[in-house]
Structure 1
């Protein structure tokens, strides 16, 4: 071979010393070349190269001979491509000679370096237990593909095994393929290393890749806790809290976890993050049991339709989770625990003689199957929501159920093929709703028979209805398609009950213990209907007639069970009508009454009827009271100034009187009750001269006559300004005229320097007001008359708690109020907003109280206590306090409070001031004490009417709480 010449005609100069001019070389490194040839070569090659010596041709023997010179020597590292070029060009290279014709001999040595092979990995897939040839990698030779025999490859399979690989190729693109036959025994992702060797060239080329091996996963535990779970698609095995193995779930065909021998092994199959299935099954081998068996298997979480547990031997068996679902095999295991849920559970007992007991687990909602003779491991699981089936093995099996078992299991139990004396499993219907006097006909319980459903004739049942009546025989029907029997009965409760009755059902089957279950029966009052009437009456004339009629849906009730109260609408005392005074009429009852009206007008009469229990009804009647004489005159009341007083006819005794003819007052001088002198004139004007030591009030009677000679007698009262304030208080607070003793006491109190606020305090503490307030609470909130025991109790609460707050909260959180609002926490809270704050609840606040209610009851706080706290929260809220203050200002001062006044008293209440303390402060304001105003000396003014309107009256009766009265 001859080296490729440079552009010049010679490789070196004539001189023995070569020139330093560079030879011709490529301008850039060829793509894919092993190296770039340099001339002269680097003193130290970067890698070993094949060395070839190219001798020059012989010079011949012609011409004079000269001493031989040492020929120049050149060394080059060339690529294989350059070498092929050299092979072509060197034979045409001319030999150099000097002038004398002498020729030199030159030797050229070329160091040719191979470029590294380019190896590319590929996806490696394998199936454990199957040794099929599979592509592992590909490679190319940048120096050009050489015969396949020049290459070799080895593979490290990543599981401790190595092997020679097969190389095929090259293909049309110069690509070689490396193949091998892995022999994996388990699934996993081992790292496979492929090493390719090219003749004697070093270093070898290598590439790594993770193989996806489909197959079983086998794990040997060192002992202790082992958890199997799936996270992000990978099956993980944890030893303690350390991940010992992680394999893509899709690559796992089966899983076997083996515990260490002689130590405790605790296995957990964790479905809390979601269920998964290993197609070939999961096996847990507990290893040889230690002296005290303690290999446990827990299935944590998951929800399945049917769980099937097959016991093979004392410590071996299998579990199938769900129909056609995951199969879990186990050996040397005890105990078993399953915390997942299932609709149905099926136990299959092992062969041989088995004694099994069904018991309640230690945790609420769990049950246990326990072996009495060690024939299978104790198994604890959440009670299935549907059915539990026990299938016996081939031997003489006995199955029993502990008394506590049904405390945790409410489904249907069936035991097949085993001797048992299990009683039926009965489930009560729950709380039943009945109405007094009406028949309750319905199913009271259902039951299933663990021995297998017979016919209805195999069972009997009786019902004790809990009201003292004799037990009755129940009807047993069934079974239905699921094996359930139904127990039904019919009964009529004579009376309603504030607490639920208990209906006890006893189920009997031969050769078994009777089973008793109980239903609560809420017996409601029969509906009362009441109808009012219109009454015509004459003033000052007593009348007696039917005031209202009513009927009761309970036709079995006795008339003596009922009572009625009559509010005549004229501020007089209530009239009570006992059952013995009621009159039966047309399937209902009449309420008789007798009354005398002192004034003419139209009066609304409220008649409330109670059956002595929880039911009541109210009828509204109307009394049209007219004068017994053909004219109408009224009593007259005045506040007067000091000294002798003169009242003109325009403001006199006949002001406002009506008659078809002219009225007149019998003139004359009359001495008043307190010694003053009244001088009446015919036109109704009069003068009054107080006696010495005028106490602040005096009165006298006067006679009015019409043109026909008809007469009527009325009373005129004169009051000092202090007496006028007392009169006002009686009308506005007690809704009646003051009695003589009360008027005298409180007027003397004022005359002695007493304050209106202190007087208000005395009124608020009076039995008269408290009786009205508490009586109204009962009628307004509980829809029934006040009973004496309730009055005594709530008055004691009022006095001990310094006001009505606890009473209002007590009524608001009472069971009667709760049920009247709908009987749910949500409806009750809504009613509080509507009845206390007089508005619908906003979602945020309503949500706050609902969350509070749920958190407190979940923490074990009694629901009644929680309602009491919430009710107090409403009555002590800024909004409620503001409504209270506004109501009191309207009631006592006949105006709305300013913003500053409202906040002043609201802040006092927030600081702990009671209702009556704030009311006392408001009534102690000068504006209250100065109304009515003091007339000028010698004059008088008719006293205004201070009786409350209907709304104001309700506010007063509701302890001066205008908003609470709207309940």
Structure 2
């Protein structure tokens, strides 16, 4: 439709008030019944304002009432329904404050400062937010001139002397007022304020005052004149008062004399005279007293105190002090006037501290070890005075011809401990002399005689040796060594004895130094191993000793040799053999068979004793044995001389054992069943062996698992029955033929192969959902939605697929990654609404599948600055998104949230947005109606005309009627007949085909002369249309279907003629605050 035609049609439209809702969104939460106090369609409010004339003073802030108004609504309204703006008449406009005045009306008040005097017109503009009415009250501001002026008088005086006279003059041009009409105060700048005396008349006045400054310096005195006791008519001036110094200080007395060191002394330290200002306060002085030993007491640290007698004597007293040492000390007392004065004086005297120490020595008994450094206390001393350890020196005569300095320690006043370090060269008892002496000029001294017990310090460490004599041959040589911790000792300091282990003991010879050797001579009668014990002893008075244990390995003279020709050993596996296995010769032909023992190692891990026969230097070893397996075995026979003889010889022979095994597969084989990716471990085949003597170790097994992998198997069993076992992990499920081969070990040749089927199942998937957090309309990028594990071995992530159902009617594929044994599912998605969505993630692999259920917690979309903002800001953002279909802009957010912050209701803010002069809400309504009924976007001309129609009071349903009865609608959606028009209108207005009953009723109306506009008005007034509209509103702003109570209540209000947008605003501001609470989390 073009602009002219649409506007013409809009001028002719009827009074239908119904419309279709749009922009519906999904269900959310429950709401309460409609709140009627905000509903329009009632008798409108109107205000009757009256201006209030007021008289401010230039340059002074005015605050007060500028207008009043009443409402003719029978139900009184709240002040929060109104807003006010005050145009002050000097180019300034500010917001006014509306408050009930207790008389059934309201006052408008404001605050403002006028820069100039004069009579100015004032306009007070009042707006009613409920019925959108405005009114203006006219008032007048009579601004008076401010005329008082004041001039200061320079002042100067001396501390302690009275100041009296004129302190300021002031003028009030043209004033006939006497001096009694004014009052004055004088702030003297030193914490004192007094009333001033005013004299004069006819606009010229003098202010006088009296004051005495207690201290010198420059003070800022402020003089204030007030007219008629009214602070708004006052002037002040601040001038400097220069107060001169009056103090003249002189020395009178300083403490001198003699005291004892460590004696506590304090009290009056000095007296001074203040001849210039004898009444000066003690607090005006600072003082210090230097004791001459590095200690200074001051009034600042609280150890020096100043008092005055009011007649000029200034006394300096000090807290107690103790001299740590005797001596003569120069003391200095200093007195100074406090800032800004520079007056000060010092007096010097002498104090003498005399000796107070009397020392008494107390001996100690201590222990040490020769050759080891001693360090510790050697004596203690007591002192009759309270000296410090640093006041003394100590000397220690250790009693062995050595004297060293000692270290003195202890608390003030003692007792004191003297410590020292020393190494005694030898053991014994010594008498150390310890002398403590006070440092100069002190003379105190005392000596203590202590006792040192020095213990044996030698520590001997022995080491035995192994010697190798031959039986009946004399041995001479070293048998042991030892070391000594005391490296000063020599070989002559020790004696040694040797026990040879065969019942003989002789003296040993000691040689060396620091490290010593014991040697001796001896002849053993027989071969064997003997324990040699050597004892070393320190000479008197030393008590150190040590014992070394060594071994004498006395060699055998017998010689045994395996014969050049050995017996033949031949048999079959599992068959017993008995007979000779080895032959030996002996160089000692006197030995008999009973002098020897024999052991046979059969070469198959078995050892047994042999039987020895023969004599005259030739001996045979015989025995019996059964070989369990075929092969060639090395048989070793060892012949050994009996104890204490050590002669021995070993003969090697070969036993040839023939094969007898026959291997077959068992009739019943094990079952192999596993899960892909999981390790299988167990029996895979069973075999029988004709040789019951064979053991599992005689066989090897190889397993071909049927998937291209072959591994060695483990053989177990015995007594003719053997099981092959193995471990393997199948990468995929399926059925595999497993070939198992059992083979006799070399040189055996027996072998058999068994075939078994392995059934491998698909591995299970276990998925766990991960909660997703985000914001409405903010893309979730690569968000983790689930993790899962695969009970089989880790497979490539590409083997799996994942599908995410986002809970908002959309689904997408996920991206899968693998880390360790855990797979992660990630995906990207954008939610267009805030709420908690139920999310499911389905993961598949071949025939296995798992589903993880989780949730996406989506909060209200972020504000333009990227934050969530306040609750009121989030409310405004949601209104823009749900009602205007866009993100809130920064200026709109600031303006509307500011209203909410200052008490404007949510309903009022929604209505203000709907009725905003830019008509964004109305343009959106118009465009949606175009799309609903003309199935296209609105054109600029038509949109502007339609918005003006709605802004001037037309309803959405009236506009929809115009569109639905337009030629464009008739040509584009009907064949020209009323029936086709009716069906098309039903589809657009009610979202369904016309039903037979409705068809008949409206055909009857057409037959009776009803127009299409009248039929449209009837449909728009139907309960079905009202319920559809309310349901759409619920989905649009509450994200849920309407509950029965809300559906009935709001539909009834629409039926009563309440405008669509008012119902929408009320749904967004119900008592339960359901819409507001959407943004609360």
Q: TM-score range by the shorter chain?
A: under 0.3
TM-score by length of 2: 0.20
Q: TM-score, normalised by structure 1?
A: 0.23
Structure with higher RCO (Cα < 8 A, 6+ apart): 2
Q: Which has the higher strand share?
A: 2
